[in-house]
Structure 1
Amino acid sequence: MASGDSLHLSELRIVLLGGRYEGKRSSGNTILGREEFDLRTVAQCVKRQGEVAGRQVTVVNTPGWWRNLPVESTTELVKQETVHSVSLCPPGPHTLLLVIKLGVSFTEEHRRSVEGHLQLLSDIVWSHTIVLFTCGDHLGDTTIEQHIEREGKALQWLVDKCGNRYHVFNNKNRGDGTQITELLDKMEEMVAGNRGGHYEMDRKILDKIEVWRTAKEMRVKQRKAKVMKQREILRSFISESLHLSELRIVLLGGRDAGKRSSRNTILGREEFDSADDQCVKKQGEVAGRQVTVVDTPGWWNNLPVENTTELVKQEILRSVSLCPPGPHTLLLVIRLDVSFTEEEANSVEGHLQLLSERVWSHTIVLFTCEDCLGDTTIEQHIETEGKVLQWLVEKCGNRYHVFNNKNRADDTQVTELLDRVEEMVAANSGDVFQPEMDGGQEMNWSPEEYQTSPLPLKRANSIGINPPSLSGSRAQTDNDSGWRSDAGSDAGLLWSPEKRGGGSSWSDLRSEHARTGFSEKQLRSARLAFVERVKMPVLDDLLDGLLQEGVINDAEMEAVKVEAVKVKAVKMEAVKMEAVRKDRAQVTIDMVLRKGSPSCFVMKTMLGNYDPALYKTLGFK
């Protein structure tokens, strides 16, 4: 069909693409002539249909991206939904409308963002795309052509890339039917130019996405079930006697993560602070509890801890001393509306390690910007986002919560968070968080002492007893050993033959201890002291590590937890929590002892990493 031939389509299939707040929903409503797309933020595609100017029109709206951020910063869910959109109007859309808001400068950053997101749909997408400018009332007496020329090279590049196809909408004037019919005419002209063809995505890619979506939903169900079971066990042990009348919280996270807004949501009042480089402590009564919240200075999300100023690092250390004897929990604040990258994971890990490895057993991930999820659950977001975010959630013992700081009238999000904090305190046998010095000793100090001497800082990898794969390492998440390169794994370096000064491998060492039975003898002699002294967070880390190393299996892991829970189904008072801890410790060490010296060697070595002080107390070398 020649480009100039007339073509009248009885059906038109349209996909709306663009950044957040560009006017996609309003444009969809203008095209269909009625309110089909509501104003709520969507994280998934929405499909609507109607008859327009004698044609059957299908409109698919997609989640938006941040206009000034590259495609790498967009969440995996939004990227997957962008690709998925074209399969919702089979056999494919006649046109993709790229929605651009007038009245806001179109910058080079915006251009790169648009290019990156459309490339998700391959190069052929450009021959099926029309630029739809919204907020046409901002033009006044200026024509759209004059605006394009004045705006500069970035916008001119985009219009040229789309074959000089563009249209203008004024969504405030939906009574003007001509703006609709003219757009539909331009679409038909473009389809004629494409010889009557529509946009078609590679079927193999769409099939892969469907397989991925099915597998993701299965993982979502598994994660929900795991978290629910974990919480049910803990809640069954919590009684009124353990209801904490006081809660101490420290907020950690990057800049612009939403820490200050989260603090205000927790305390139920709006407070602004002038200082961004010092800790801020606030208190108030929340849900019948006296709550202390310490907000810390944020770090740059994409930069390692080495790039953070000494002032910010010292303030992070000081934060836990501002709520003596220590915080019940540390809330790690993470935004939901941008991708959680490997760089951000490295940054989070480095900054939390300032407070020692023990920090993870007292940390809950607090996701902000819940409104960006739409109808998507937090579990769907975690599974979609990928292994990096999954690593973080697993590292924090599958403890996470979601805040919508724009809806502070919803008190349930705060009370549910406080309930999760109490559950975590129960899991930690009532312990509050206190960092470790080198050698595993706890630090005890008052704020005044801190002013006179800097807090001792645990050096990275100061302990020379690390197994080749640690529980919760990103390399081990979802059995993806290639996630983190060997060059970036300190554990791998510590266990290389060069580091140890010999040529023995991990398996060689296990075999040697199997022949001599040395580790089993040591562990057996230390059994009673281990049961009496090991702390619940260390015990949990040991169990996870033993599972990772194949010393125990999933069924045995569950058996340990069940046996511990069988402590007569009593309420979780302090004495009873101690009984649970001892019971779990006894079941764990007895199970490992039955497996022989190689397994004992693994457990002993891991204990040296997780609790060096106990390792030394038990007489291990």
Structure 2
Amino acid sequence: MTHISENTFPSLSLVVFGNSSSVQFGYENIFLGEEQMNMESAEISSIVPVQREISECHVSVINMIDLHEAEHVDHLIGQIVNENEIHAFIFVLRLGQLTDADKMGLEWLQRVFGDKVLQFVMILFTYEREEECDTIIDDLKKDPILEQLLEKCGGRYHTCNKMMNNQSEMRDLMDKIEHLFNKNQQQCNTGEMYNTARMRNSECGSCYIPEMGQNAQLHLILLGGKQVGKSAAGNTLLGREVFVSNKSFKLVTRDVAVVSGTVDGFPVTVYDTPGFCAPDMREEKIQQMINEKVLQECKSGLCVFLLVIKKEDRKTVEKIEKLLGENHLEKTWILFTRGDELEDDNITIQEFINANEALKTLVEKYDQRYHVFNNKKEGSSGQAKWLLKKIFTRSFREKVTDRFTEHEQQIPQIIEVMFGQEVIKYSIILFTYGEQLEGRTMEKIIEENSRLRDLVQQCGGRYQVFSNKDENNRKQVNELLQKIDTMIKQNGGHYSSQLLEDAQKFREEEEKRRQREEEERKEQEKQRQEQLERKRQETERIRKDMEAKRLELERLKAQRQREEKERKELEKQRQEQLEKMRKETKRFREEMKAKRLALERHEAERQREETKRKQKQETERFMEEILKAQRSELEKLKQRLKEEAERKQEEETEKLIVHEKSIIKRRSENPEFEQFYRKHRCRWHMAAFIINHMTAGQVVGAVIGGVFGSIAGPFGAGIGIGVGAAVGTAVGAVAGKFRL
């Protein structure tokens, strides 16, 4: 035990517990700092006190925030408590937001540390705005449960901001803790107190759950309208994602989904049903589905119906009540799924219900059987545990009568250690709450429970049943006294002092043995801790190596990404350059092609011109040769024509002479003819000349046409002959005229 003078207050060990929503972690937090335990991890490996200096006091802060929602932490708590004497337990609560989880936090503390722990508890109300501090008295008046919590803690409380960074508030808190320590006569909560409480509650965390046989399990049926959070509530109950849930307006659950699990070690089976009033499913089909797959399966065993609602929906509630019937309504609970919204709006569930008259009436109809879930909290939490405690406390109270816990089974051994082995001969088992048997006999209960039957046999079959309701019933007292007298006679006397001395000696020897075992255990624990520390250091070294390798890998990855980015950039530039070169090459090729085509056209044109020139030269040469030949022919022809003309001239002359002679003869014979002849003699001679020379002209023209025909072909020959004849005739006529 630690004793500290009133004037000196140098060192403290404080346990802080409650919900993380009531505090804000961070480097500014004087009390808790910035480290928060991860309750969603698979396993909490250790609870390490943090040394802090607050208001000139050295404080060892043991952070147990949210620990009441964790599993398998008893050994860690036992270890930390056996190593530290606790001066005070600080229960953090958010002002105006008392939740079921908060209530469960204090009950968890009592269950783990025993009822005596309440004398060391101080409630620390946290706030976000300073004006909230003024409402604490009103909150106590409005919330009787909060008032009961405060009364349990001796009315001790303090207020501070959520960040816990106000030096003045922390100083006042330390003063109140010092006052509490002195009020407790400078006593601390020790490991011995914890071990005693643990012995009394060996089934800590599940003591509210009755033992009903190995095959007992609780059936939880989720009923309600569409999109009210039934599937999410099922996930919260089982502490894991097993039912499909989303926020869309489309119906997710179209059949009854059944998943089994445990809540605080007790087997449960959760039924997720389709929503009522869904437009894409007929209600008759939903009702038939629930009848066949739920109600038929739940006829035997423990069964509870959870009516899941967000807000009052009278139509859906009436349909569910009609489906269940009067027999099942007593086992129906209302489950609200707006816990997160209520916390955000700073409204308690009681205030929410009281503000809605229809909801208030509904809750009263179900005899205040309701619970609130915050489905946004992931993983296993205390919400499901708190609900089961409510259910077993109210709906299955009669089943608790015949429970027989492991702790109760150990009572004979504890008594033997305290009073000796002979004490069991002087023991009678007294069963209380006999009024809850309701027609069942104690003999039947003993027969059904092998462990209880073994205990009764150890006590020689002696037991008595008392009814707590009938306190004035002397008959049951007289029966107990008679059984005691019979037991004394059978044992040949009372339990003597010699037996007590033997028991004391045995207990001392047992205590020495226990101390030796405890020392051995501590030594083993020390060695284990040293091994764990070595393993932790090795793990830390490996973790650092892995972290260094991870950082190196990240650096290499980043470098590779940069290089890849640069490579892609260079590749992009290269591709752009290639594309540019391709376009330039294409343009150059097109230009070269155009130039080549132009050159080809020019060359073709030149060749055509050259061909034409050559043809022209050839034609000219040919024409020259033809003309030369023609000239020669013409000369010859001219000569022949001249000779022919001279010959014809002579003939014509002779003819003219003859003609003249004929004309003279006619003229002499016909005076009129002579007159006509004299008048037209020139024309007469000219016509005769032309007719005589036309033949010669036509011959000349034909020759010319033949020359052209040899050059231009048959068509040119025809044209040449026609033109040459006309020219020749004209030439002959002109020549004849001039001759005349």
TM-score by length of 1: 0.33
Q: Could you say which structure has the larger radius of gyration? A: 2
> Which of 1 and 2 has higher RCO (CA within 8 Å, sep 6+)?
1
Name whichever structure is richer in helix by fraction: 2
